[in-house]
Chains A and B, each alone.
Chain A
């Protein structure tokens, strides 16, 4: 039997109850949210259970939502069950003042650099990571450039109108 989104949702809700929420499937990919300190447990559960079998980590990245107080940063995991060919997306929100999230690098070797990249650009502190240092930016950099508070262009420029780009 093919693995259905309903089944995944059911299994997760049974195991984690209120700790996982907001199940929806934008563009046919099951997406859900987990409480901040449960990310590793959810990943481990998805990895270990024979019927879920999400053992391939496609991607880790982060998103900055400056307009959501207490949930400014989102760490997004894309997981793939290669046998049944099902992808899911796990999002974990954290506040920007203490962006501490458990590392997945012990579970997936591939998470090592992806987490370093996420740290490098968003300042997510992956707790338990062996070598959490900058990877693409220079070591001396003292800010996290992909956060929305750092605009791409010098905001003192008056010859460019932000409204042209949809957000003023």
Chain B
């Protein structure tokens, strides 16, 4: 029997404690759910410091917008937070309408709210179920995805596309909602609550999920405000700021809903706030659908405001009426001069206050357009939230923040 000698690597005294590892998380990593990089300095599994690199999918939207008439910029806004494109589209239309002084009819407002709340649900359900995936529970995600499909089918029925929707026009919608759209909405409203309840049951009191999320990536209300947090991430820290309540747009003041808030601002609170917001969105959807059904006769056919300079005339009129043909040509070619002005307008996007700062010099395209992108602003706080924690927690924190690369980079 031979004798085994174990050879130990001789390291200088104390060197193990000093030894740190540099780890690149991203730019393409399954756990980042988007293209951005984190260069982390690790001591074992503990994060000592991290630096984010963003800009991998920067597409110069602000520059592009300076050469586009208003209606062509809607397609750029699709690609900001692509999990809830319709909110971005509506935010952009509302900004234009504010600049142009357009008043939209109530029915348009309610239809817009239906679309916006549907997309808020689709945004939050992805974020929450992906959090499940990152903590090791794939099932919830697989189940809930089919309900996003139901939402996308409603979009499809209204505007013809699913992800980058380009939905709505300045002044209203491109066409009236069809009966099929309403049937699909009814189906969603009927089926989704049970599914959401099931998702909730999978996670909210799940021991593993709670241990992974409670206390990870906490942020205090003061720090969150100082970092410019908005949306669910700010509300999870305990500040009840919601653009829908503070500066109601699109007739949100006609609806009853509560703004859920958390306490500690950790991943678990962010999950709970998003979850509760989905219930609130469902309630708003039910109210809005009821209000839409109350329009009868000619009123039920209203789906846009009267803005001939920006809203395309009916196709049959274009073929038969001189006036309509002229407007059609002018709008499509972007030959309408905008009023001079400087507007900041914001809506409550999936991730928080999505702002549009539009300066018009009286030309046909914006002189300057700036997007206030919530994820770009709150992602700066990431190092502060994860330093000192474990690498595996950092991944959960990242998915609970709902970072969308398109919105980060613009």
Residues of A within 8 A of B (CB): 26-27, 29, 31, 55-59, 61, 63-64, 76, 78, 82, 85, 87, 89, 108-110, 112-114, 117, 121, 134-138, 145-146, 152-153, 164-167
Contact = CB atoms under 8 A, between A and B. Distances in A.
Residue picked from A27, A114, A121, A134, most chain B C-beta under 10 Å: A27
A109 B227 contact: yes
A31 B357 CA distance: 13
B67 A59 contact: no
Contacts of B353: 58
28 contacts: A26-B341, A27-B343, A27-B344, A55-B225, A58-B353, A58-B372, A59-B344, A59-B355, A59-B370, A59-B372, A78-B344, A82-B225, A82-B241, A87-B344, A108-B226, A108-B228, A109-B223, A109-B226, A110-B228, A110-B377, A121-B62, A135-B54, A136-B410, A137-B55, A137-B58, A138-B55, A152-B67, A166-B337
A56 to B, nearest CB: 6
Nearest to B342: A26
Contacts, number: 101
Contacts of B98: 27
Contacts of B54: 135-136
Interface in B360-392: 363-365, 367-368, 370, 372, 376-377, 379-381
Contacts of A108: 226, 228
Nearest to A121: B62
B355 A164 contact: no
A61 B227 contact: no
Nearest to B341: A26
B208 interface: no
Interface in B197-251: 223, 225-228, 239, 241, 246-247
A110 B228 CA distance: 5
Contacts of A152: 63-64, 66-67
A114 B410 CA distance: 13
B145 interface: no
Interface size class of B (residues with CB under 8 A): 35 or more
A114 B372 CA distance: 10
Interface in B165-189: none
Contact of B227 (A78, A85, A110, A134): A110
B231 to A, nearest CB: 13
A101 to B, nearest CB: 17
A55 B228 CA distance: 10
A29 B363 CA distance: 22
A166 B363 contact: yes
Nearest to A134: B55
B331 interface: no
Given A110-B226, A110-B228, A136-B55, A146 B380 contact: no
Nearest to B365: A165
Contacts of B58: 136-137
Nearest to B377: A110
A26 B342 CA distance: 7
B409 interface: yes
Contacts of A167: 363
A26 B360 CA distance: 12
Contacts of A27: 98-99, 341-344
B333 interface: yes
B108 interface: no
B55 to A, nearest CB: 4
Contact of B344 (A29, A63, A121, A145): A29
B94 interface: no
B380 A109 contact: yes
Contact of A166 (B55, B346, B365): B365
